[in-house]
Structure 1
Amino acid sequence: MNILIFFLILTSQIIYNLPITSSQLTDPTPYSGNQGQWRLLHSSVGISAMHMQLLRTNKVIMFDRTDYGPSNISLPRGQCRRDPNDAALKVDCTAHSILYDLGSNTFRPLTVHTDTWCSSGSVLPDGTLVQTGGYNDGDRVVRTFSPCNNDYCDWLELPNYLIQRRWYATNQILPDGRVIIVGGRQQFNYEFYPRSSQNQGGPRTIWLEFLRQTTDQDENNLYPFLHLLPDGNLFIFANTKSIIFDYSQNAVVRELPNIPGGDPRNYPSTGSSVLLPLDENTPSNGSIEVEIMVCGGAPRNSYVLALHGEFINALGTCGRLNVYDPNPRWLVELMPVPRVMADMLLLPTGDVIIINGAAQGAAGWENGRDPVTKPVIYRPSEVLNHRFSVMIGSPRARLYHSTAVLVPDGRILVGGSNPHAYYNFTGVEYPTDLSLEAFSPPYLSEEYDPVRPRIAAIDVVFGYRQLISVEILVPESLSVRVLSARLVAPSFTTHSFAMNQRMVILKLIGVTHVAAGSYRVSLVGPSTAEIAPPGYYLLFVVHADIPSSAAWVRVQ
């Protein structure tokens, strides 16, 4: 690699050939003068999108539960689903899953045979979505979806593959390409996909005492927050507590301090969480800084109070924790408005968008009030007390069972909201919403096009620690000190948590001026599979806080 870099220096006009750090990215987008833009894509896609996953084909798979009765979209070719265990319809000729095409703004129905209610998922290194669990006859089912370039791919189901029922569990892709599945209702344990055998005794689940310790009378530890750390361990947050966990040895490596305030952050007091970007441009003698952020939730007892018609204010705080600090302490910050059931997504800029949710109540049917329709963008690198910016609001409430994902052009795709046991469109305060919207953050404004990079050519396979070349076009002159390249793992989003989401800021080696407005950027692939597990990622090039559209790359 060093010889190749030396060759580039000799044969090209090098603009910059030293590592840069994220602290040098000092030209922020002026969010104060731009609040983004909403666009309604479809008034109805036929289902309420309880779960979403972006696939490498630029299509987004969405699905709801199956046991609420008919949806508003029929299965193709007159097909019907026959399920004697279904609580609502034994014969159902409507679809409960769709595949949405970002490029054409069209969608088609998919077939799920068993109940996917409150399930979880991850994408394997080959791009296959593995979705696990659900309810009733679906609680031990594994379903897979392999992306294709035609209209024939559909869900495949593996009945009774899971060892335990998984309802409200969380998944995380691991460095070796396996998926760990943690928790679920009354499941204080974890297991793996594919199944793992222990000492020739066959597949088994592994007890996790932390989950038993964090449950309470309202549970408040469902859909625990999982983040894979650069040392290969897991960060697990449930209720108010968090640990660093070695899943290979079933050992707690470190107990971290409780989040201040004593109020729960997991379902049904649903908050959200992100792992802030991992920057590989750290000094050679330093380690990557790892910070976790947890925002929103509901005060203790909010769920029971909501069941009895009393809706109290949601939590208005975020906690931020450096998990590798010798003496870690939560930094608590106040959001512009309290929020429960909000989604948190990493933007290409490394900022965090907080979107959807309510200002009162808790998660669950009929339990939320006062929709919060204005997204908030949080800038981790800004000075304290100046990190939040309020965006323009949507005309639509997105409450329980709403979702959001980042898509390759930098927009946020938003759908779902069904706070009822069945689809209910009339006579209720918050009707079931089958629409699909997109929110465009301020960085997509045309006024920033002169400095916006465009990816012209790229190595589509990234090896670990290998040199990578990306050719970009920038209409105006390039400022290297505000240039970066970022890998983003698309998330499986449900119930206000974006599973498997992560961003890696790649090590920048140099930039070569090729021609007018054209540059070759030299990068180094991720250091380890613990930092970036194998699989498909979105690569964004960001210049002066303005991102390109992403290119798909495969890390292996």
Structure 2
Amino acid sequence: MSTIMILFIIPFTLASLFPYFEGQTLSSPFANKGQWNLMQASIGISPMHMQLLHNDKVIMFDRTDFGHSYLPLSNGRCRMDPFDTALKLDCSAHSVLYDIPTNAFRPLMIQTDTWCSSGSVLPNGTLIQTGGYNDGERNIRMFTPCFDETCDWIEFPSLLSQRRWYATNQILPDARVIVIGGRRQFNYEFLPKTPNPKNSPSSSIPLNFLQQTTDRSENNLYPFVHLLPDGNLFIFANTKSVLFDYKQNSVIKHFPPIPGEDPRNYPSSGSSVLLPLDENLGAPEAEVVVCGGAPRGSFESAARGGFMKALGTCGRIKVTDPNPSWVMENMPMPRAMGDMLLLPNGDVVIVNGVGEGTAGWEHGRDPVLTPVIFRPSQMVNRFSVMAAASRARLYHSSAVLLKDGRVLVGGSNPHVFYNFTGVEYPTDFSLEAFSPPYLAPDFDPVRPTIRYITNNNVLGYRVFCYVTFTVANYGSASDVSIRIVAPSFTTHSFGQNQRMVVLKLSGVTYLAGQAYYATVVGPSTAEIAPPGYYLLFVVHKGVPSSGSWVQVM
């Protein structure tokens, strides 16, 4: 990056992003580059999967066949599994429930192997978790949040029609979950079970696009899937993408391949987000971003000890355009295995990953410690480099957005088993939180605080809702937006089910003192916002409030 570009990013983009500070100098490093904090030195497992739940807890898990973890199960429990490849009797936990307000955690009990599995949260807040490896490959597990210490995993054996290892889940407008792909699985299925077009209630449905885009018989894993406002799915696999009508099992449109001919899905392990859907535009535009990954041949090269430089490009495509095309731009540094998360103000943070190599055991080098923030609404200089973390997060790391706007980061285990000595990148059991610049005290004068949401925090479709908030230095209605965010199930560099909707804002009314209320309209359709729990944020002058849980229904 040139010196001119660095000078432009650090002192000036904050002024344009936060108009309140235009013409002022921000001397705080936190306000320019964010801040890292260590939350837990060890939780006893290395979470490769994370999901924020609506009771302000994060459920995390890795795999059961690493051998024993460093967190014992409670109450003398043990897991007996004759199919486990490491331990037949295991009295350690492979899942934890992390409580955000208290920064505490407790062990959970998983019976079968969840390695490289997938998940979605149902409208009632229950996490439905699908597949895995070995004896877990066709199993479904459910976790229903509770507000005491009683909830734990419930497992349902052999409910999936196919083995789902490296599959992708997406919650649908009718509250079903579609499970797509997996290793050597060029098909999809629905949960709960419903008849497919051939009226066979239990079988999977072929998806030839997955077979057509695979590199090898086992590769085309964790496809990027986004639900679009018209109810169809955008599915991206390696270099190609389609508009898919899952109701008719029909590909409606083939999009142009992403330039460069390098794959972006696992094990290349780029990442992808659907940018915020803005209901104030009438019919929301849908734009997908795909960033990073590893060049073609990286996996084979790393297996031989040669670590190729990761990809440094991002591609954007507005899939609602009549003739969409990719627009490419460069990130500040190359990155594979990075996690892309939507921030409450509409920016995107890219965190974790490596600068060389690819996903796989011992296949990554040159950890990328610095997150970058991508500001898609800016015309130029859209990337800003953030403060560096102190810990490398390589293979099997993960990240989720929290209610207060921080990003919780954990995991990193590039080894077949837990390994802490004699390796360049030891297994990591810690949890860290990255606070983006908008959380700096410098922005407190324009930071809103949510006081009240009508209808008992329920957002009905096309129903008016009033959000009362306070702010010390209010600008104008044009400085305010109300956004809802569906928390992601994050694993292997992709946040499944992640989405943001900017609600239609009818106006902002002054109440008294520092209090105002915004009149907004609930999502127009379930295709734009499927039913379920979301975090609602008030954003004022680019600075978000802490989130409040709402239920869209």
> Which of the five TM-score ranges fits, normalised by the shorter chain?
over 0.9
Does the aligned pair in 2 maintain the 1:66–1:115 contact within 8 Å? yes
Aligned equivalents of 1:202, 1:540: Cα separation in 2: 40
TM-score with structure 2 length normalisation? 0.94
Report Cα offsets for 1:432-469 as digits up to 9, x if no partner: 00000000000000110111000000130000000000
Does the aligned pair in 2 maintain the 1:29–1:443 contact within 8 Å? no
Q: Give the direction of change, closer, same or farther, for the CA distance of 1:25–1:527 in structure 2 (3 Å limit).
A: farther
Structure 2 counterpart of 1:27: 19
Give the alignment of 1:110-509 within 5 angstroms: 110-198=108-196, 200-217=199-216, 219-282=218-281, 284=282, 287-384=283-380, 386-459=381-454, 460-509=457-506
Aligned equivalents of 1:253, 1:124: Cα separation in 2: 27
Which ranges in structure 2 are unaligned for 5 or more consecutive residues?
1-15
Structure 1 counterpart of 2:76: 78
Does the aligned pair in 1 maintain the 2:534–2:551 contact within 8 Å? yes
Deviation at 1:28, TM superposition (A): 8.7
Does the aligned pair in 2 maintain the 1:53–1:62 contact within 8 Å? yes
Deviation at 1:480, TM superposition (A): 1.6
For the pair 1:48 / 2:46, whether they are aligned, the reply is yes
Report Cα offsets for 1:49-92 as digits up to 9, x if no partner: 10000000000000000001000000001110000000000000
User: Alpha carbon RMSD of aligned pairs, Å?
Assistant: 1.4
Q: Give the direction of change, closer, same or farther, for the CA distance of 1:145–1:29 in structure 2 (3 Å limit).
A: farther
Does the aligned pair in 1 maintain the 2:183–2:219 contact within 8 Å? no
Report Cα offsets for 1:272-331 as digits up to 9, x if no partner: 00000000001x4xx211100000011000000001100010000000000021221100
Deviation at 1:27, TM superposition (A): 3.3
Structure 2 counterpart of 1:8: none
Given the alignment, which residue of 520, 523, 534 partners 2:520? 523
After TM superposition, which residue ranges in structure 1, 4 or more long, deviate above 4 angstroms?
28-33
Does the aligned pair in 2 maintain the 1:218–1:303 contact within 8 Å? no
Code of the residue aligned with 1:421 in structure 2: it is: V
Does the aligned pair in 2 maintain the 1:260–1:330 contact within 8 Å? yes
Deviation at 1:26, TM superposition (A): 7.6
Secondary structure at the residue paired with 2:530?
coil
Aligned equivalents of 1:204, 1:466: Cα separation in 2: 38
Structure 2 counterpart of 1:3: none
Deviation at 1:479, TM superposition (A): 2.2
Counting aligned pairs with the same residue, the percent is 64
Code of the residue aligned with 2:376 in structure 1: it is: P
Code of the residue aligned with 2:440 in structure 1: it is: S
Deviation at 1:506, TM superposition (A): 0.4
Does the aligned pair in 2 maintain the 1:512–1:521 contact within 8 Å? yes
Aligned equivalents of 1:276, 1:29: Cα separation in 2: 26
Secondary structure at the residue paired with 2:444?
helix
Code of the residue aligned with 1:336 in structure 2: it is: P
Kindly indicate whether structure 1 or structure 2 has the higher relative contact order, using CA contacts under 8 Å at least 6 residues apart: 1
Does the aligned pair in 2 maintain the 1:274–1:294 contact within 8 Å? yes
Code of the residue aligned with 1:402 in structure 2: it is: S
Aligned equivalents of 2:66, 2:217: Cα separation in 1: 24
Does the aligned pair in 1 maintain the 2:272–2:289 contact within 8 Å? yes
Secondary structure at the residue paired with 1:34?
helix
Code of the residue aligned with 1:550 in structure 2: it is: G
Q: Give the direction of change, closer, same or farther, for the CA distance of 1:470–1:212 in structure 2 (3 Å limit).
A: same
Aligned equivalents of 2:258, 2:21: Cα separation in 1: 31
Which ranges in structure 1 are unaligned for 5 or more consecutive residues?
1-23
Code of the residue aligned with 1:341 in structure 2: it is: M
Deviation at 1:29, TM superposition (A): 8.0
